[in-house]
Amino acid sequence: MSSNISRRDFLRLAGMAATATAATAAQAALAPEARAAGAVTAPQWESKFGACDMCFNRCGLIARVERGVIKKLDPNPKFTKSRGMLCARGNAGVDQVYDPERIKTPMLRVGNRGEGKWKAIGWDEALDLAASKMKDIAAKYTRCGMLFSAGADTQSQFVHRFAEAFGSYNITSHESLCLLSGNRAFVDTFGDVPLPDVRSSKYVILAGANRMEALVTPDSMDLMTIMREGAKVVVLDPRYTKSAALASEWHAIKPGTDMAFMLALAHVIITEKLYDPKFVAERTSGLDQLAAHVAEMTPAWAEAETGIPAADILRMARELAAAAPAAMVYPGRRSSDYENSTQIRRSFAIVNALLGNWDRPGGLVPARPAGLKKVPFEPPFYDDNPPGRVDAKSVPLLFDDEGSFVITRENIIKGAPYPLKGWFVYKTNPMATAPDRRKTREMIDKLEFMVVVDIAMSDTAWMADLVLPAPSALERQDPVQALQAGAEGACLVWRDPVIPALHQSRPVFEILKTLSVKLGFPEAFDFDIPKYREMQLAALPEAAEILKRDGVYYPPNPPLGGTDGQPFKTPSTKIELYSNRYADLGLDPLPVYASPKASPDAGRKFRLVAGRSACVTQASSTNNALLSEFEPENTLWLNEESAKELGVKQGDVVQVESPAGKGELKALVTPKIRKDTVYMLSGFGTISGKLSHTTGVGASIVELMESRFDAICGNSAIHETFVSVKKKGAA
């Protein structure tokens, strides 16, 4: 909505930005031989394969490099997972490389925490310091006194490996702020996290997923294609998103009521016997209990909860069932919404199971074989360590390898069950992505040492003791990564530098390898990246050559249906409509619906929800100069009737307040959101002194969000906050 430049202008700007901001960087970037010989002798143009890193989709790309300067990024046509697309953020990847605000050298904090006083230091000093601080913490607080957090990245596996070798169980990632409740739900129902085969689907219900802006490849493009071919896409969202605008049908569902909608679908599907009887009898367990559970959950009942007309719910249930198994309740991705998100997502899984849309075209399909080998490693055992993670046993079904960032943070603040005093952060920015920024700050204040490896001075880096500069994905060599694309199968990508790393940046792999020597466990990193790739590809002898030739490799993809007759990885070996495991743990074995709690405070009338823009990645690409042309600041989406009641006009500055914090930003008065809901984009109102596009611009959504989490798995719950809104200066 805020975009006022065309796609063509944008692509031109992307090229120009590379030329302008790269002028000096170009000198540094030239290979030494080229510099010695004079730039004229360097090849004019080179095309090099890469994989985008502006989000986790890792779309295959071709970098056009002229004399050591990246001029343009294009999609790799052989990378069919993204259907030949490189999105706006992907194009703007050039600016991430040549961003003048990039961290250039290791930086040591010299002022108070968060004050922004830094001293540039050399790598030797930086890594000696990191090693000695980590040693001190291990000696004083055991090895579990260090927390390791790594975001979505091909090299994050090395952070996990390092943490294990170092001896800490405390590892978190972006996942407990993102998708764990959805994963929990599907693992506990299907025994696995299935993938949607959107391409062959005839009917898709998108609930709480905005695929036309929150891009997931190939799903986003496939939704467009199937609609052109006559498939139906239904969107349930309290906001009129771009997905809603493009869909066949949109319902402004009341936030927090999706489970009522799904249980009503199950009611219709069961009472009208629209389910797949053979599939349900042979492959699921608990139909009778489910039937009894949803007996009273009629479309009329769900209408009162969701605001969606009963006749529409009835019709959608019938249409969905008629299209099955080439139909789906889209499983979604981010599910860090509510305290009962695991159960909400279980209701999604259950409707899919009734329809028998498993391992068939157009339904949910199992992950396909990728053929990558794990690189083995036996972590040492330290007998003075505490028995488990700092967040262990905090919720009934924590994922042990991911834990819960929100609960870990709470326990660090409390110092219980044991003190945790050091933090190694790689490529994740919890100061901007974990709900309740003041709590993250409070946690950081308890630490004795914090080191952040990032490309930019994120708000998290801004709080650190030591900041280490990372190269972008266009400047480094990465291991092989397997990506899944529904029925199309897995594909493999890797990265080689398209230009030498700028400034003094060093990949986290090198940082960890050096630290592993200094800390006395060099065997954990007893390889370089080429050797590591070789080990990963041991079972795919032809893959390396094809990766070099095409920039992507497709392993053999067996046809769908391979799991027919096979047990599911659940305790009963069936899809569990009813979960005995949940019953044994004292959890509801079927998703039990309760109306969402009203605001505890009459003054705080609006539920605050989060969501994506196609031109912003999470909370951290907002400082990209090209992308900020599209999203220069965030605004508060406020329904026009609510605005009228509050006396707020288009563009007025409003004050938003919650028990966690407050913020000021301009109002976007719009019919595109429910009266009881407000929305703002994440990634603004930053505090870092080195994010000039976002610091002091708009408001921070994490300043407003309360610290809540899913009761079953500890995933953050970022839609549980009610806020008050008033015009600035109004009483």
Ligand X SMILES: Nc1nc2c(c(=O)[nH]1)N[C@H]1C(S)=C(S)[C@@H](COP(=O)(O)OP(=O)(O)OC[C@H]3O[C@@H](n4cnc5c(=O)[nH]c(N)nc54)[C@H](O)[C@@H]3O)O[C@H]1N2
What is the binding site for ligand X (CB under 6 A)? Answer: 53, 55-56, 151, 174, 177-179, 207-211, 213-216, 236-239, 241, 253, 255-256, 258, 332-334, 336-337, 426-430, 432-433, 453-456, 458, 470, 472-473, 609-612, 614, 616-620, 679, 682, 701-702, 718-719
In whole angstroms, the minimum distance from the beta carbon of 303 to Mo ion comes to: 31
Supply φ then ψ for residue 75, to 5 degrees. -70, 145
Is residue 57 a contact point for ligand SF4 (CB under 6 A)? yes
Residue 218 preceded by cis peptide, ω within 30: yes
Candidates 173, 306, 322; CA nearest to 596 is 306
**Out of Mo ion, ligand SF4, ligand X, none, which partner does residue 701 contact, by CB within 5 to 8 A per kind?**
ligand X
State the minimum distance, in angstroms, from the CB of residue 332 to ligand SF4.
17
Q: How far apart are CA 341 and CA 259, in angstroms?
A: 9
**Smaller CB separation from ligand X, 138 or 329:** 329
Sign of the torsion formed by the C-alpha atoms of 108, 110, 115 and 121: negative
Other C-beta atoms within 10 Å of 672: how many?
Answer: 18
Please name which of 444, 525, 503, 506 lies closest in space to residue 159, comparing C-alpha atoms.
525
In sequence order, what DSSP letters do the residues of 255-312 get, joined into one string? TT-HHHHHHHHHHHHHHTT-S-HHHHHHHEE-HHHHHHHTTT--HHHHHHHH---HHH
Measured between alpha carbons, how far is 97 from 472 in angstroms, rounded to an integer?
A: 6
Among 30, 50, 58, 488, binds ligand SF4 (CB under 6 A): 58
Q: What is the CA radius of gyration of the chain?
A: 25
Between 342 and 458, name the residue whose CB sits nearer to ligand SF4: 458
Q: Which is nearer to Mo ion, 91 or 176 (CB)?
A: 176
Residue with tokens 């695991």: 342
Distance between start and end Cα atoms, the chain: 31
Give which of ligand X, Mo ion, ligand SF4, none residue 82 binds (C-beta under 5 to 8 Å, depending on kind): ligand SF4
- For ligand X, the closer of residues 355 and 616 by Cβ is 616
717 contacts which partner out of ligand X, Mo ion, ligand SF4, none, CB within 5 to 8 A by kind? none
When the beta carbons of 87 and 350 are compared against ligand SF4, the nearer one is 87
**Where does this chain touch Mo ion (CB under 5 A) — which range of 30-38, 175-183, 655-663, 704-712?**
175-183
Exactly one of 51, 65, 178, 259 binds Mo ion (CB under 5 A); that residue is 178
Any contact of residue 209 with Mo ion (CB under 5 A)?
A: no
Q: Among residues 346, 345, 334, 260, which one has the least CA distance to residue 718?
A: 334
Interaction of residue 55 with ligand SF4, rule CB under 6 A? yes
If the CB atoms of residues 82 and 688 are measured against ligand SF4, the closer one turns out to be 82
Closest alpha carbon to 162 in 122, 134, 139, 136: 134
Contact partner, 512, from ligand X, Mo ion, ligand SF4, none, Cβ < 5-8 Å per class? none
| Binding partner of 54, given ligand SF4, ligand X, Mo ion, none, CB within 5-8 angstroms per partner class | ligand SF4
Helix or strand run (H / E) with residue 433 = helix 430-433
Q: Indicate the DSSP class of residue 358.
A: B
Residue 220 CA, chain-centre distance (Å), reads: 16
Nearer to ligand X, 568 or 722 (CB): 722
46 beta partners: 65
Options 178-186, 305-313, 359-367, 527-535: segment touching Mo ion (CB under 5 A): 178-186
**Residue 561 half-sphere exposure toward CB, CA atoms < 13 A:** 3
Nearest to 404 by CA among 442, 434, 426: 434
Least distance to ligand SF4, CB of residue 493, Å: 10
Binds 357: which of ligand SF4, ligand X, Mo ion, none (CB < 5-8 Å by kind): none
Is 61 one of the binding residues for Mo ion (CB under 5 A)? no
**Per CB under 6 A, does 666 bind ligand SF4?**
no
Strand partners, 668: 637
Q: Which one of residues 25, 26, 30, 59 is an interface residue with ligand SF4 (CB under 6 A)?
A: 59
Q: Where are the beta strands (DSSP E) in 573-612?
A: 575-576, 606-609
Q: How far is the CB of 181 from Mo ion (least distance, A)?
A: 12
Q: Judge contact between 144 and 499, C-beta under 8 A.
A: no
CB of 477 to ligand SF4, least distance (A): 18
Instruction: State in angstroms the smallest separation of the CB of 54 from ligand SF4.
Output: 3
Residue 115 Cβ, how far from ligand X at the closest point, in Å? 20
The DSSP secondary structure of 141-191, one letter per residue, reads H-GGGEEEEE-S-TTHHHHHHHHHHHT---EEEGGGGTTHHHHHHHHHHHS
Nearer to ligand SF4, 155 or 642 (CB): 155
- 215 touches ligand SF4 by CB under 6 A: yes
Contact partner, 514, from Mo ion, ligand X, ligand SF4, none, Cβ < 5-8 Å per class: none
Q: Distance between CA atoms of 665 and 331, rounded to whole angstroms? A: 33
Distances from the Cα of 559 to the Cαs of 152, 307, 367, 563, in angstroms? 30, 41, 12, 10
Residues in the chain: 731
The option from ligand SF4, ligand X, Mo ion, none interacting with 90 (CB < 5 to 8 A, set by class) reads: ligand SF4
Count the residues of the shown chain that bind Mo ion, applying the rule CB under 5 A: 2
3-state secondary structure of 47: strand
Residue with smaller CB distance to ligand X, 334 or 368 = 334
Partnered with residue 69 across adjacent β-strands are: 66
Minimum separation from the CB atom of position 134 to ligand X (A): 18
CB of 460 to ligand X, least distance (A): 6
SS3 109: strand
Is residue 589 a contact point for ligand SF4 (CB under 6 A)? no
Is residue 54 involved in binding ligand SF4 (CB under 6 A)?
yes
Rounded to an integer, what distance in angstroms lies between the CA atom of residue 124 and that of residue 174?
A: 30
- Cα distances (angstroms) measured from residue 468 to each of 25, 52, 121, 425, 652: 19, 22, 10, 10, 40
**Residue position matching structure tokens 């990645």:** 617
Pick one of ligand X, Mo ion, ligand SF4, none as the site partner of residue 217 (Cβ within 5 to 8 A by kind): ligand SF4
Pick between residue 1 and residue 39 the one whose CB is nearest to ligand X.
1
Q: Does residue 90 touch ligand SF4 according to CB under 6 A? A: yes
Which partner from the list ligand SF4, ligand X, Mo ion, none does 59 bind, CB cut-off 5 to 8 Å by kind?
ligand SF4
Run of H or E including 14: helix 7-29
Instruction: Name the residue number minimizing CB distance to ligand SF4.
Output: 90
Nearest to 139 by CA among 412, 451, 382, 464: 382
Q: How far is the CB of 399 from ligand SF4 (least distance, A)?
A: 24
Closest distance between ligand SF4 and the C-beta of residue 27, in Å?
Answer: 28
Q: How far is the CB of 434 from ligand X (least distance, A)?
A: 7
Q: Which residues contact 108 (CB under 8 A, 6 or more apart)?
A: 118, 119, 120, 121, 125, 126, 129, 465, 466
Q: Which residues bind ligand SF4 (CB under 6 A)?
A: 52, 54-55, 57-59, 82, 86-87, 89-90, 215, 217
Q: Which residues bind Mo ion (CB under 5 A)?
A: 178, 334
